[in-house]
Structure 1
């Protein structure tokens, strides 16, 4: 079967993915027995309840005691549907629970249950530091009553605070902080310096976001190195003067850009008449190309913001600043140069692991989100996780209107502003979701121009997120937000104090308006889900323009030339409705295939990481290095004091293993970036990558031993062991960051995306 046929089969499978979910009947059967325990547990004093909690060993008792503890500690009695969620988590499933259904409390009882079932310690992995600390402190009284300890970790936590937090039965921590702690633990030279214990159970909050959207994001531990001059800043000055269409051309999909002959000639002349494609100009060519990408493709207030003198990336799925995230391969420096800022150091990559690979290290994984079914196939493929759809406690009475589709941005925006103004004048609270920071700020200005005040929530003021979202349900409130829209924060009708709740209910509840469709239906569904919480009234509608990038990029070729529309520019055409839906499916399919492709390359690296980690653990915790030196360098080993030999052998072997792993990662990065060129020669790029990666790793293992022996024989151990004398000085400083997906992708990713779009289009004709 050819490559195109295999790709076509995958895309069609994605579009026809099964909607099967976990059968809840076995969980539901336990509910009467849980209810039957309530009266007896209510009669116990706190001390007796804690004692009973320590003995619970089955789902029924865990849920019954957890419910009683929650009611006593924070005056919240979990609903039956929350207990179904608990049982799903205890069964290592992903529980789909609607917004406002109490996922935080559900996770707490599940965490207690996993500890009691012998699956501890438990890490509750969140999307950010705020939620990690908030949820740990909020749920702490319940854990105390259940006889468990709880801790939390944030970016500001010290080494000792981290160690103490991870010693707790349950630890709340953002997935990135947990991953960085793992990477740091993998480089310790003394077991006592570790902060984490075994990775036993992970309860993943916002599971679709972490397990799918962020799955391929690499977490990086970097060390300081002496830096050379940065050619990207010089290149940025040159490309700034180039003209689109004349000196360079942007591809239709907006993900790649290339110099024209005229533009290339202009750059070469500016650089002194050089040939950029000469063998000795590789670094200069790379700098010019990356500067052009930053100049032509990356947009301020869409892809990134500039705040406090630095470039901060925006997470396209959530609209938030992507904390401590950088673009790869000099692109970060290019954007900094574009904005006239000094380049921040990249350092040397000491180790890196993707979110997906890190979570795979846990023995048990489960999670919760309001939107899991859409990614059920991917959860099954990458994590062997099934989805359990938990019914709402109260019927959802939100009124979800059909999309209002307009022929152009201008008419769509006019109608959008008018719709918001009408709702505001009635006093009905409105939450508007925009696609990026620039759009949110433009809409706020348009609203102000017609006398409608609004609160703007976007990546520029993300620190105020919880406060702004908490009041988004107040009478007359208009909140303009990017997709961030406060995941994890309830919007109560009438505001946080529910002062005007009855009036807002009479007005129809919170009105959610989407200003354009996102690439992912899940993001749209999350926005809709802000209204209609716990049986509250609410409404939602999306305003779409045929000029929206999603539509033009993925469905431009199937839009009718003259769609049917009314005098106001509102389109009423079934073919257009289909095209918008089709565009989202294509975007999701392309992203899915890029995820799969990226992971296929990562698999061999993760296998090598595991093998190396096992070897490192033996070096760290045993005398295997000293034994090796006794065998390979017996004379010097026997002359050396036994304790000195042990320390020296361990330190030298660990240093060279870590050093060679750094070099190996750098080599594989170069191979990965260049391997797509081999596809042009009709070679399978994945096979070619493996062909380079496997022997390189075998050589690494041999070189570790050879360098360890060589260093041992050269070092003077007469006065004991000193790392400086053995030339094993480690980086003086380390820091962490996440590598943002290259926004325009590698050549191979672009090839797959182009093929995917054609195949999906063909499969739906």
Structure 2
């Protein structure tokens, strides 16, 4: 059944390519032939833009647009685009993902959809994985767009507000995913609408789309600021969890690196802190502090994850072993570690705004993307982003030889073989690219080669430009290049003179990555554009993936197989290593899916909140809006203090007076009333009369000048508190599964309850400020 499905998908892919080849390419070529004699392409561009605005047939206009880009590329870059590039460009214009092998010219391909969407005047974002590539592509490709009459901008992290606004007004804007996302969030934090830099999000083309929409989708984009931590509670929680015992009070999940309290611990917490139910919304802050304290105590190891120096906790980079200056663990974990180590607490990072990558790109009207390897994640791309993946054939046949993996009993035996393989290739002057999964592995291999006086270049901890220069040299005779994670480098490895005769570039993988896709990216560095090349992975039963995710199965394999210095290839052992990797992929997908599902709930709230905020910035009906807030607040309070099921003698009149003031402005003769509706009618009538009297002396400009900024400050403060509470609520949702409840559904229900409470709090704070202003105005009138 599965094989039939794969065959059908494969056939579907071929059918789509063939359809474009037969029905699209001839029309593009026809237009291309007709414009080659034109000395200037601007007139053709202007005609195309006008026709597009008039609503002419899109297909015919698109044929013309592709022909113009092909000619502009030939004139500016000296490159004649080949058919598979035109096919890939056509697929991108349909909002799909193109899988193209490394070296097939994805940057050139992106020019066609960029021009087509840029023509429409709504702005296109060209999204890259780092600023070096954004700047490089902007500088190299601008000349093509300028020849065609389109404007191009560059959006960098250090750009000024003016520079950003100008870049976003251009037809095409280059930048990174994170900077586009942060600008979106910052635009919804401004105090005045003219401070915004972005237009409405319309079109986006994402280079290395798997890196952006999959690898970076595990963690959301967050704009944070500093806030004072609560030292007493952190220290109390730290001391409490230190008395807990594993199994009895908490469980540890080594695979996901998570901890959770047992029922025994929950009872101890409720007894110690004198609460009835730890899972009630009002106790989310306490639960959050306790869980972070447990993580700090159990999962975070001193001198492994962090060091304590000069009475401060500092993070150790897991890959480099270096200290990450100025960085903090997020969500209070850093402060929990400080409490555990009994050092002064630093200021805590507080989330001001956040959005996931999935939801950010869901805001665009249309996105498209390209990468070298994404077919293994096509189901995820379709389910979450609604994007089909189409594999585009290579311009020339791939002749790279991919050898079987060789599996060893120990890491040491594996590394001995890796070094031997490098030396064998190096003696023949064949260039070798060694791909590792950590900086530590890279440095270990480099040190082993150094002891043998064999020169090599290591890409780790370099700037993007340095890395690009080193990658470009990796195909030269005798070159040995060692790198951690070769994905998304953005630079082709071209073979040096005479290297093809030596077998091309040889790839060595020292360990399986957490995704087959990343392994394929490493392999894809060799064999570009029909070049010869080869690849092989060397693995061991001591590799990190095996130890983290299949340690229980390893002992049987140690005894079952005859292990020699040459290692083992193929068979069940190969299947075992593949299954471990698939298990890791599935877990990573589960994490991304959970992030997506949780943020889908927050996203609806975020859009609702942003709409409310935008209405304030744009100028709402101030008198009506403020008066309605006061009436809502008064009604809710009266219903609480004067419930229908109690007699007037049992009403909480003191609470009403505390809220409305003791001067009796809205409460005169209330003691003569005997039912809730009577109190409501009188208070609202009194307020309406007072408010109308207050409005008689108010100028229209007064509201925007006096109320816009305070109103924004109130709703922003409430929104920040709400985000913090949601984050704390999220920490404990997995416990709901033990009560046979759907954690997502529970989170959704409680999140919307909290959102409603936030709305009530906004109205209360606004109402109190309005009432105070009215009272002060009336007092001034009485004195005069």
Structure-1-length-normalised TM-score:
0.80
Q: Spell out, residue by residue over 1:174-199, the C-alpha distance to the aligned partner (whole angstroms, 9 max, x if none).
A: 11111110011011221110000010
Alignment match, 2:101: 98
Contact 1:407 1:546 in 2 (8 A): yes
**d(CA) in 1 for partners of 2:236, 2:8:** 49
SS of match in other structure, 2:739: coil
Structure 1 residue 415, shift from structure 2 partner: 0.3
Structure 1 residue 684, shift from structure 2 partner: 2.3
Alignment match, 2:296: 291
**d(CA) in 1 for partners of 2:757, 2:526:** 58
Contact 1:200 1:363 in 2 (8 A): yes
Structure 1 residue 581, shift from structure 2 partner: 1.0
Q: CA 1:285–1:30 in 2, change beyond 3 Å: closer, same or farther?
A: closer
Q: CA 1:606–1:136 in 2, change beyond 3 Å: closer, same or farther?
A: same
Q: Spell out, residue by residue over 1:449-488, the C-alpha distance to the aligned partner (whole angstroms, 9 max, x if none).
A: 2221211112466663212212111211111110145521
Q: CA 1:383–1:282 in 2, change beyond 3 Å: closer, same or farther?
A: closer
**d(CA) in 2 for partners of 1:231, 1:672:** 20
**d(CA) in 2 for partners of 1:491, 1:321:** 33
Structure 1 residue 167, shift from structure 2 partner: 0.9
Moved more, 322-331 or 447-456: 322-331
**Equivalent of 1:489 in 482, 491, 494:** 491
Work out whether 1:64 is the aligned partner of 2:59.
no
Q: Spell out, residue by residue over 1:379-400, the C-alpha distance to the aligned partner (whole angstroms, 9 max, x if none).
A: 1111111112111111111111
Work out whether 1:43 is the aligned partner of 2:17.
no
**d(CA) in 1 for partners of 2:565, 2:366:** 55
Contact 1:433 1:485 in 2 (8 A): no
Alignment match, 2:529: 534
Alignment match, 1:747: none
Q: Structure 2: state its 5+ residue gaps.
A: 53-60, 275-285, 308-312, 631-690, 778-784
Work out whether 1:713 is the aligned partner of 2:771.
yes
Contact 2:241 2:294 in 1 (8 A): no
Q: Structure 1: state its 5+ residue gaps.
A: 1-10, 265-273, 304-308, 495-500, 720-765
**d(CA) in 2 for partners of 1:300, 1:438:** 15
Structure 1 residue 630, shift from structure 2 partner: 5.4
**d(CA) in 1 for partners of 2:619, 2:34:** 52
**d(CA) in 1 for partners of 2:493, 2:765:** 60
Alignment match, 1:701: 759
Q: CA 1:711–1:689 in 2, change beyond 3 Å: closer, same or farther?
A: same
Contact 1:409 1:547 in 2 (8 A): yes
Alignment match, 2:18: 25
Work out whether 1:396 is the aligned partner of 2:398.
yes
Structure with the bigger percentage of helix: 2
Q: CA 1:310–1:100 in 2, change beyond 3 Å: closer, same or farther?
A: farther
Contact 1:233 1:337 in 2 (8 A): yes
**d(CA) in 2 for partners of 1:338, 1:129:** 39
Contact 1:149 1:168 in 2 (8 A): yes
Alignment match, 1:133: 135
**Equivalent of 2:577 in 571, 574, 580:** 580
Contact 1:81 1:390 in 2 (8 A): yes
Q: Spell out, residue by residue over 1:287-310, the C-alpha distance to the aligned partner (whole angstroms, 9 max, x if none).
A: 643333553399569x9xxxxx97
Contact 1:233 1:333 in 2 (8 A): no
Alignment match, 1:645: 703
Alignment match, 2:209: 207
Alignment match, 1:353: 355
**Equivalent of 1:608 in 592, 605, 611:** 605
* Structure whose CA Rg is larger: 2
SS of match in other structure, 1:511: strand
Q: CA 1:477–1:590 in 2, change beyond 3 Å: closer, same or farther?
A: same
**d(CA) in 2 for partners of 1:427, 1:704:** 71
SS of match in other structure, 2:720: helix
SS of match in other structure, 2:212: helix
Contact 1:167 1:197 in 2 (8 A): yes
Contact 2:474 2:480 in 1 (8 A): yes
Structure-2-length-normalised TM-score:
0.78
Alignment match, 1:732: none
Structure 1 residue 577, shift from structure 2 partner: 0.9
Alignment of structure 1 residues 444-455 onto 2, 5 Å: 444-455=446-457
**d(CA) in 2 for partners of 1:340, 1:505:** 61
Work out whether 1:636 is the aligned partner of 2:638.
no
The structure showing larger relative contact order (alpha-carbon pairs under 8 Å, at least 6 residues apart) is 1
Moved more, 586-595 or 361-370: 586-595
Contact 2:332 2:349 in 1 (8 A): no
Q: CA 1:406–1:312 in 2, change beyond 3 Å: closer, same or farther?
A: same
SS of match in other structure, 2:568: coil
Alignment match, 1:78: 81
**Equivalent of 2:721 in 653, 663, 666:** 663
Alignment match, 1:550: 545
Contact 1:321 1:459 in 2 (8 A): no
SS of match in other structure, 2:217: coil
**d(CA) in 1 for partners of 2:415, 2:386:** 43
Contact 1:431 1:510 in 2 (8 A): yes
RMSD: 4.1
**Equivalent of 1:619 in 592, 616, 621:** 616
Work out whether 1:686 is the aligned partner of 2:744.
yes
**d(CA) in 2 for partners of 1:321, 1:132:** 29
Contact 1:469 1:485 in 2 (8 A): no
**d(CA) in 2 for partners of 1:196, 1:322:** 32
**Equivalent of 2:499 in 504, 519, 535:** 504
Contact 2:314 2:327 in 1 (8 A): no
Contact 2:100 2:393 in 1 (8 A): yes
SS of match in other structure, 1:214: helix
